[in-house]
Amino acid sequence: MSPQDIRMSGFESRSTVDEALAWIDRAVQEIPEQVEEVSLELSHGRTLAERVVSQIDVPGFDRSAMDGYAVIADETTGASDYNPIRLQVVGDSMPGNGYSGEIRSGQAVRTMTGAPIPSGATAVVPAEYTEAVGDNVLVSLTVGQFKHIGRTGEDIRIGATVVDAGRILRPQDVAVIASIGQAKVSVRKQPLVRVIITGNELVRPGEQKRPHQIYEANSSLLSGTIPRDGGILESVRFIEDSESAIRNALLEPGADVILVSGGSSVGAEDFAPGLVAQLGELPIHGVAMRPSSPTGLGRISNAMVVLLPGNPVSCLCAYDFFAGRAIRQLAGRSKSWPFRTIVLPLGRKIASAIGRTDYCRVRVEAGKAIPLAISGASILSSTTRADGFVIVPADSEGLPAETPVTVLLYSELFMAN
């Protein structure tokens, strides 16, 4: 048995969760930032790589904020329902087609919302305070200087930063970039993530299952979490438990992150850890946490590799703790958890052990966090019954009932009872 081969011999020691997270953060920093230019239509949800600076004023001209009449503001002084001011209507100003002349004393120009303000006008009287009488208009409202006028550059000034680098672009961010006439933006490239599923006992949904086989679910789990964290699913490879097949899937170029589901522990057919160590490096194998203790972290060439346990809850836990954190950072996002949180008292105690981090699924009920399970790494349905999870830190022997805990919620749509 080679020094890298610990199959059937167990873990001599396990890294702490903090050590594993620190390795991920260092490894990500060593990977050069990748940037690409995309059209605005494709930029939603992407991380902006360079700040966007406006080359124009928005609006680029004084424009009407109301349907009504452009006037000289001082000439409306004293106007009321009982003392309307009569002005001569000399033309119209419409969006995209302004009045070409100049307003003089005693004149008004009919104007629509968004239309340019005629030269000489200093306010707009809303239509509801006017009455058209032939070629004239009766104004029954006193308006101040620049009332109901959108001034040049009042939204955005030339040279202003519209959106800072690092922003995950929301629809309103993309819209404001469009408003300055910019058709493309520089964004962080999304990491390409390959999922390798191992296990001769696995059958894909829809296929015939033999006795003692189980339907494979982890690819469905990971294909949803990867885009959530800003990655692109490069491919899903269903690989037999053989050294050569796993080796080929690991070495094939094209992925920035490789997730191996199953075969990450020390069983006789757990080939992945030894292969990663042989082909690159595997500085983290075995983490002091429950579930997900067989997790491994390493690199092959420029690709980061995360070995995920095959048990579904362990797979989800290891992904959320480690793989998701790496993918988010490579995509230019925050390394922090992507979950909304609430603080609630525990409904009953959680038992743990010093030196081990626990991931405990909880249900929110009657304003309390009710622990469902810590063990039971193969009970995937526990995650659907749960509203979220609680992390019990390694320096704790557990948490007694009524302890305030931070619940990380699985769903953004969750509404607490």
Q: What is the DSSP letter of 176?
A: H
Q: What is the pLDDT of residues 242-273, one digit of tens each?
A: 999 999 999 999 999 999 998 877 666 689 99
Beta strands in 243-346 (DSSP E): 257-261, 281-285, 289-290, 296-300, 303-308, 341-345
- C-alpha torsion sign, points 400, 404, 406, 407: positive
Confidence of residue 7 (pLDDT cuts 50, 70, 90): very low
Spatial CA neighbour of 135 closest among 117, 112, 111, 108:
108
Contact present, 205 and 223 (Cβ < 8 Å): no
**pTM for this structure?**
0.84
Q: What is the DSSP letter of 354?
A: T
Q: What is the pLDDT of residues 51-97, one digit of tens each?
A: 999 999 999 999 999 999 999 999 999 999 999 999 999 999 999 99
pLDDT of residue 266: 65
C-alpha pair distances (Å), 190 with each of 193, 246, 373:
9, 25, 34
Contact present, 291 and 377 (Cβ < 8 Å): yes
Greater model confidence, 356 or 10: 356
Contact present, 154 and 59 (Cβ < 8 Å): yes
Q: What is the pLDDT of residues 212-250, one digit of tens each?
A: 888 899 999 999 999 999 999 999 999 988 999 999 999
Spatial CA neighbour of 293 closest among 377, 219, 372, 361:
377
48 pLDDT higher than 60: yes
* Stretch 100-122: mean pLDDT: 97
- C-alpha torsion sign, points 211, 215, 216, 217: negative
Query: Which helix (DSSP H) or strand (DSSP E) does residue 273 occupy?
Result: helix 272-279
Confidence of residue 351 (pLDDT cuts 50, 70, 90): very high
Q: What is the pLDDT of residues 123-168, one digit of tens each?
A: 999 999 999 999 999 999 999 999 999 999 999 999 999 999 999 9
Q: What is the pLDDT of residues 270-326, one digit of tens each?
A: 899 999 999 999 999 999 999 999 999 999 999 999 999 999 999 999 999 999 999
Q: What is the pLDDT of residues 183-195, one digit of tens each?
A: 999 999 999 999 9
39 pLDDT higher than 60: yes
